[in-house]
Chain A
Amino acid sequence: MKRYDLIVIGAGPSGLSAAAEAASKGLRTVVFDENERPGGQLFKQIHKFFGSKEHKAKVRGYNIGKQLLQEAADAGVDVVLNAPVEGLYPDHEVTVRIGDSLRHFKGDAVIAATGASENMAAFKGWTLPGVIGAGAAQTMMNLHGIKPGNKVVMLGSGNVGLVVSYQLLQAGVEVAAVVDALPHVGGYGVHAAKLARTGVPFYLSHTIVEAEGEDRVKGVTIAEIDNKFNFIPGTEKHFDADTICVAVGLSPMSQLLKMAECDVPDDPSKGGQAPRVGAFGETSVKGVFAAGDVSGIEEASSAMIEGRITGLAAAESLGFITKQELEAETAGLENQLASLRRGMFAPGNKGRKITETDEGIALSESLLTQGYVADDEIARFPGVTKQRGIHPVIECTQNIPCNPCQDACRKGCIRIGKDITSLPAVDTDSQCVGCGLCVAACSGQAVFLVDEDYEEGYASVTLPYEFLPLPETGARGTALDRSGAPVCEAEVVEIRTSPAFDHTNLLTMKVPADMAMTARFFRNQKTESEAC
């Protein structure tokens, strides 16, 4: 039987990272993946990632995927695509469908990096065509170039629901509502805010009563629920929609590990049945490791680090590196992982209601219940200052592990400090030059440049803009506030694009001076009724 030092199952972020790391230590490594393209979910992640430099923060997911593939290829990893692993047997044997045959391989070590699958929610009509997973919608749009529908209701306000909603808008799909049974937005506030300011309404403590339609979705009725998840009569709201996206969480795809008799307990904090693993991803079966979402649902950034750690552990288990080398090399990775697992959205805080930031500032209740920070709440955050001349306004109000804005500013205007989860603070002593690098660097699109002295009676607001077509300089339209409500007329006075901005365009609009701290989005007159 053909034998490898290491067989990696899954060519997503963790699998490729593991394979690259192991191969760099000299392991003959193969990666099998059932898809026709490598990268797992990375290549459909068109948004910029959070984190710090070593986490590849502010790099878009698909570019991280390209870098990772290159690294694996350079290390000599054999990536076999269209190759579903059908079984994982004793003695580390795998069976793989390749072409029209079933092939048997053995690996001295096996790393399962099989990722996750989307959860479904059952409601009346959920089996109608038009009800799809949010991840599926993302695949259709971003990998296959197909619009999943024209008008979507998103069920789920976690990061997947929020990110995919935004990408739906970018693809020209109308998002009628984001609905969540929980009383608070589940994902990052910045993701919610960038949706809300385009006019997408949030319905928390609501869920779907019914998907309407005979042979496909034609509409959706939602209603408010009480704390026992029962509908409250009289709170029904109807939306015309042709698509319902379901973003109610992910489950580890641990089937192969279960088949291999690994200990796979049901752990709600990990999203479902995830293998019990040690510090290096080792399962209860010797020589079988797990990394990435299969060992507990997290982000791609942590999956990549886990993959590297596990790849190194496999190398150590087979004598390619020493225990000391393993410990030395994984120490830094463990620190990176630990920093990603901090902040309000840390796995340990799952289900816990947090009311104030680490700095002791009360969280925006409006952000949690409506998706945007209310006008009377925004001033209390350290990124929001009042200054003469142009200056950044950072509407980042939750402790999340992310700091590219600090590095982006060469003038020292933005300070996060050593603790990656601290809220960014604007230093009023440093002089902003209006370069806009911080605006483009913020993965949460939460940085604006405001100049209240732009012109007599007018202020300028520079905002990140990721929609096409770009409005032209001189275009007139409407400024929307953080809730997406039209507040005043606006004129585009500058559009900046640059390779350094990596597809985040900087749109500067002129608004009446008293709107400087209110206007946060621009809607072009010409495209008022349609998304662009």
Chain B
Amino acid sequence: MMNDRSRDIGPFVPAPDDDMIVCRCEEITKGEIRRAVHDGMYTVTEIRRWLRAGMGLCQGQTCSKLVKGIAARELGISPALLEPASSRAPMRPTEMKVLGREEGACA
């Protein structure tokens, strides 16, 4: 779907709860997320890559719906129109020595 990154979403208006942490793993605030949207980060993926929101230990398990909601509100669209965050192995943080000790691997 074509997404015009210059479309008018109105100005960034500071809000009293801008200092509230939303991504607790990476300590990203609501204000930073809203600001990022106004900086052109119109997708959850770009917000994550720009701010690290959802990139921490829980991989967005806790905050991804919250980030989506904040971004959607800022963009004036339904959260369902924003893409889901991608999922990558490992599902749980795993020590290098465990990943390095494989059994049964085949290319």
Which residue numbers of A lie inside 8 Å of B, CB to CB? 1-2, 34, 84-87, 95, 97, 100-105, 117, 119-120, 122-124, 126-127, 251, 254-256, 258-259, 264, 266-268, 272-273
Enumerate chain A residues within 8 angstroms of B92, measured Cβ to Cβ: 34, 84, 86, 97
When A and B form their complex, which 3 residue pairs have the shortest distance between CB atoms, in order from nearest? A87-B89, A255-B87, A86-B90
A119 and B98 contact, CB distance less than 8 A = no
Greatest chain B CB density within 10 A among A101, A103, A259 is at: A101
Q: Which residue of B lies closest to A125 (CB)?
A: B20
Q: Which residue of A lies closest to B63 (CB)?
A: A120
How distant is the Cα of A239 from the Cα of B78 in the complex, in angstroms? 34
Q: A258-B86, A268-B80, A273-B84 are in contact. Are A102 and B99 (CB under 8 A)?
A: yes
B-side interface mostly: loop
A86 and B106 contact, CB distance less than 8 A = no
Q: Which residue of B lies closest to A254 (CB)?
A: B87
How distant is the Cα of A273 from the Cα of B93 in the complex, in angstroms? 22
A104 and B97 contact, CB distance less than 8 A = no
A104 and B104 contact, CB distance less than 8 A = yes
Task: Give residues 80-107 of B contacting A (CB, 8 Å).
Answer: 80, 84, 86-92, 94, 97-99, 101-106
B101 and A102 contact, CB distance less than 8 A = yes
CB proximity of A308 to chain B, nearest CB, Å? 26
CB proximity of B26 to chain A, nearest CB, Å? 12
Q: A259-B89, A268-B80 are in contact. Are A100 and B104 (CB under 8 A)?
A: no
A259 and B98 contact, CB distance less than 8 A = no
Q: Does B24 contact A (CB under 8 A)?
A: yes
Q: Does B65 contact A (CB under 8 A)?
A: yes
Q: Does B30 contact A (CB under 8 A)?
A: yes
Q: Which residue of A lies closest to B89 (CB)?
A: A87
Q: A87-B90, A122-B30, A258-B86 are in contact. Are A102 and B22 (CB under 8 A)?
A: no
Enumerate chain B residues within 8 angstroms of A84, measured Cβ to Cβ: 90-92
A86 and B91 contact, CB distance less than 8 A = yes
Q: Mark B48-66, 1 if CB is under 8 A from A, else 0.
A: 0000000000010111011
